[in-house]
Structure 1
Amino acid sequence: MWRLGGGVFVGFRLTGPAFLPLDRHVVIAGSTRSGKTRLAKKIVARARLPAVVLDWHGEYGGVSVDPHLLKISIEGLDKKLLCEILGLALNLNEPSVYFLYRAVRNRELRTLRDVVVALDEFLVSTKSEVEMKAAIARRLEYVIDVFEGGRVPADLVFRSRRVVSVDLSSLKLYEERVLVILFVLASLYNYLFSRGIAKGVERLLVIDEAQNVLRRGDVVKHLVFESGKYGLRVVFVTNEMPPPEILVHSTLVVTRPHRVYNLEVRGSALLRDDSVERIWIV
């Protein structure tokens, strides 16, 4: 009942049952306390697919992993991508990101501690570079503790056939949560890439409070777009309307329209391409 033709049952439309297709990524948007999380839980349960949930508030339950215990290796990440991720999470400007790349591009990196060491050993010659180096190192030290005690390999989570939540609510700093989300997304992409092109949808990634990463540049968009061919569907749960580039590649479910969305619907709706259909979520 919950699945039909690759879609997941989400409620009813005027003409009968409403099924959410999974041939694209999914955006669940709505105002606060409009049922976004509840709908995301239903989609994950009814899809009957392996899933990783990046749980911003600790609301999803089930099999949960403390991010402090998650072992994320940066060894397989492209150095430019690594620096872009750190730049996005730590709010580094473009010159700082490039400076960091210069410091690590010829170094062997396995952990964030290796990044700190490479930065510390990078020789500088001007006062501005000294200040930039110190500022980057200071921001790295704020978040590095999250990744120091990891014992559960991320690949083990990705290989699970169950729904696994990463409880981000245990992290105190906003930057820590964003960094974990970005590293999990990049690591999952690398894992799926190593497995090759998929014939269909194989797993879900739910990003709660996704507005915190969607507004952070092209890195997220690139990883999301490319991951689709490897069988991943990302479910963005957000209270803001995503950028147009994300919407073009997604099916949008609005749980409760917000006036800033500029949508001519008064209740829950399913939007795809140019069609808008009123639905009643169940």
Structure 2
Amino acid sequence: MWELLLLATLLAVSLNDGVFIGVGKRGPVYLPLDRHIIITGPTRSGKTHFAKRLIKRSGLPALVLDWHNEYPWLRVDARWLKISIEKFDKKLLAEILGLALNLNEPSVYFLYRAIRRQPLHTLRDVVTALDDFLVTTRSEVEMKAAIARRLEYILDVFEGGRIPLEKLFSTKKKVSVDLSKLRLYEEKILVALFILASLYNYLFERGVAKGPERLLVIDEAQNIIYRGDVVKYLIFESAKYGLRVVLVSNEMPPQDLLVHSTHVITQPHYVYNLKIKRSAIIRNNKVEELWLI
């Protein structure tokens, strides 16, 4: 067994077919970086450890959305971030706020109407625009009050930041954004969505890339991937601009995400409905079992 592991390690150094991740029945197994990556497994099955190895071996700059303060690289407290919304499309901004605050579709549209012609720099400006928006019916009064109340709950976390997101996007280092210090679940969701959308805008302005240039690792990804088509759109479209999104989840993602990603399962579980006995990599409907290293 040790001879096999040594051989795999040596081959990993000499071959350039992707990131070496383990050994299968036919030898070393490499994970290509030509598409997004999904890492799935039950709790305590090694998902985080595998993601750390993947980040290190890829050699690419990486930004990690760290829910539990588990990633070892340069840590940035999410409360230190300065999140600007100036460049956000108003429809996208309304959608993101709606997803994070669990607003229904009429409320999202109401919010969009309130902000669509207003200059916005911070979330405080969103609240001001909402306050100034004239309403004519009782239902609109109630809707306006409900949205404002939910926004007020999360404003504090966005008003003390000093580190612009662009600094995280432009660095060549590996950086983890520590979300564990945020008290509310909605705050974590909103920061994660803002970072995803802001990074997409940043890369869009730079133009189409020839290959993978950066990783965005989203820990506990099950918390955001089911929150609407806008999330999947941002993930899908970011690939052409050199971003590879690594989704670390203990739940099986939606089918359309699986189709367009390479899927690694760290440990089999009956809920995944796959006939495998150990870790596996799934790509183009082909399943290959392996020992992760």
Q: TM-score, normalised by structure 2?
A: 0.95
- Shift in Å at residue 3 of structure 1? 8.1
Bigger radius of gyration, 1 or 2? 2
3-state SS of the aligned residue for 2:282?
strand
CA distance in 2, matches of 1:26, 1:233: 7
Aligned to 1:162: 173
1:169-211 deviation line (CA, Å, top 9, x unaligned): 0011111001011000000000000111001100000000000
Are 1:45 and 2:56 counterparts? yes
After TM superposition, the structure 1 stretch with the greater mean CA deviation from structure 2, 227-236 or 7-16, is 7-16
Q: 2:155 aligns with which of 114, 129, 144?
A: 144
1:93-128 deviation line (CA, Å, top 9, x unaligned): 000000000000000001100000000111111111
CA distance in 2, matches of 1:161, 1:263: 38
Amino acid at match of 2:57: R
Aligned to 1:25: 36
CA distance in 2, matches of 1:54, 1:201: 19
TM-align CA RMSD: 0.9
- Shift in Å at residue 274 of structure 1? 1.4
Maintained 8 Å contact 1:7/1:22: yes
Structure 1 unaligned spans of 5+: none
Are 1:221 and 2:232 counterparts? yes
Maintained 8 Å contact 1:29/1:240: yes
CA distance in 2, matches of 1:168, 1:183: 13
- Shift in Å at residue 53 of structure 1? 0.1
Equivalenced residue count is: 282
Amino acid at match of 2:18: G
3-state SS of the aligned residue for 1:38?
helix
Are 1:277 and 2:277 counterparts? no
| Identical amino acids, percent of aligned pairs | 67
Maintained 8 Å contact 1:3/1:46: no
Maintained 8 Å contact 1:209/1:238: yes
Aligned to 1:257: 268
CA distance in 2, matches of 1:217, 1:255: 26
3-state SS of the aligned residue for 2:63?
strand
3-state SS of the aligned residue for 2:75?
strand
- Shift in Å at residue 61 of structure 1? 2.1
Amino acid at match of 1:199: K
Aligned to 2:3: none
Structure 2 unaligned spans of 5+: 1-11
Amino acid at match of 2:173: R
Aligned to 2:205: 194
Amino acid at match of 1:12: V
Q: TM-score, normalised by structure 1?
A: 0.98
CA distance in 2, matches of 1:30, 1:169: 21
3-state SS of the aligned residue for 1:252?
strand
Aligned to 1:75: 86
